[in-house]
Homo-oligomer: A and B are copies of this chain.
Amino acid sequence: MGPDDRRARGGTEGAGAAGRPGGEDELIAVLRASLGSRAGAHPEGEVHLGDDAAVLRPARGRALFSVDVLVEGVHFDLSLGTLEDLGWKALEVNVSDIAAMGGLPTHAVCGVAARPGLALEQLFRGLQDSAARHGLALVGGDLSAADRLFVSVAILGETNATGPVLRSGARPGDHLWCTGPLGASAAGLERLRARAAGSSSAAGSEIDAELCRAYLRPEARVREGRLAAELGATAMIDVSDGLARDAGHLASESGVGLALDTVPVAPGATEEQALGGGEDYELVFAAPPEAPVEDAFEATGLRVPVCLGRCVEAATRRELRGRPLPVAGWVHEL
């Protein structure tokens, strides 16, 4: 184990040392600069950026803790989107994990490995834009050299009085809801690739633009998740791997079957993309039939969820319109 593509700065070059690079310092300099005047005041007693660890007030309710990893060439291709898009998405996908618990995101840290010379301030601008949208604080990070870009974000959140909504609480008879149409992200990626390959015009339709935006700039459904929790949602998950796979997770963890009647498909996307595409970051939740889901969402001005169908007793049943639900969703090889 040893550092190869680092350089000693200063006078003790012969030490042949394995010192961790000054990752925090440099990342934090970039972060501080990109925060600029937007940083605002920390809550009383909090210390962000620049010490060995950030100091935070403890979570109200329960704490929620999650991590996501994005790797160049696997999760993103910088010829299809900007570093700013990537920063935005890296945080939103983490926020989505907190949203899927019915929680409120509060703090995040990011670990970045990047080629020398990459415009990391753009990455952080995207991270900051997403953080600002959710009122969460980027409180620390670490930076390393690497020959491909790697972004890891870890996020903290907290539950409200109703507690977290797990994947495992759905019961037979519960209705299954989805907070929005699906497949837009997969269809957007298809459009972006076609455009990059020169097989479609750069302009595209308004629908195309919306699809590309869904892929590059997903929006985690925090308010929706919290409202679902307040309405007594029994189980919830975000659609990161495609509806078939994610609803399947919820059903498996809950020990229920699924009898779905409909799949909400985004304009310009296919049902196949909605079922298998993933990265839509809408929320799927189960709730007792008496939960006033439509009224409550309408009252708050949030998009009214679509009722997909219901949870059933037969735990291995996975049906869409009376036929087997296609098994879909992306899984990578170990």
Closest Cβ–Cβ distance, residue A289 to chain B (whole Å): 24
Within 8 A of B (CB), among A114-167: 114, 116-117, 120, 139-148, 150, 152, 154-159, 164, 166-167
Cross-interface CB contact of A71 among B75, B85, B144, B244, cutoff 8 Å? B144
Asked if A256 CB lies within 8 Å of chain B CBs, one says no
Closest Cβ–Cβ distance, residue A256 to chain B (whole Å): 16
> Are B67 and A154 in contact (CB-based, < 8 A)?
yes
> Are A167 and B52 in contact (CB-based, < 8 A)?
yes
Within 8 A of B (CB), among A36-82: 45, 47, 50-71, 73-78, 80-81
> Are A81 and B145 in contact (CB-based, < 8 A)?
no
Asked if A326 CB lies within 8 Å of chain B CBs, one says yes
Copies in the complex: 2
Cross-interface CB contact of A332 among B45, B144, B328, cutoff 8 Å? B144
Asked if A100 CB lies within 8 Å of chain B CBs, one says yes
- For A216, list chain B residues within 8 Å (CB): 1
Asked if A6 CB lies within 8 Å of chain B CBs, one says yes
Asked if A229 CB lies within 8 Å of chain B CBs, one says no
Number of interface residues of A (CB under 8 A): 133
> Are B19 and A278 in contact (CB-based, < 8 A)?
yes
- For A61, list chain B residues within 8 Å (CB): 58
Q: How far is the CA of A216 from the CA of B18 in the complex (A)?
A: 10
Point out which of A7, A10, A103, A242 has the most chain B C-beta atoms below 10 A from its C-beta: A10
Residues in chain A within 8 A of chain B (CB atoms): 1-12, 14-23, 25-26, 45, 47, 50-71, 73-78, 80-81, 85-86, 89, 93, 96-98, 100-101, 103, 107, 109-114, 116-117, 120, 139-148, 150, 152, 154-159, 164, 166-168, 185-186, 189-190, 192-193, 215-216, 236-238, 240-242, 244-245, 249, 253, 270, 272-273, 275-279, 326-334
Can you name 27 A-B pairs with beta carbons within 8 Å? A1-B76, A1-B86, A2-B193, A9-B329, A10-B244, A12-B244, A18-B185, A18-B277, A53-B66, A55-B63, A55-B64, A58-B59, A58-B62, A59-B59, A65-B139, A66-B140, A67-B111, A67-B152, A68-B111, A70-B144, A73-B146, A73-B147, A109-B154, A114-B334, A117-B334, A146-B148, A146-B150
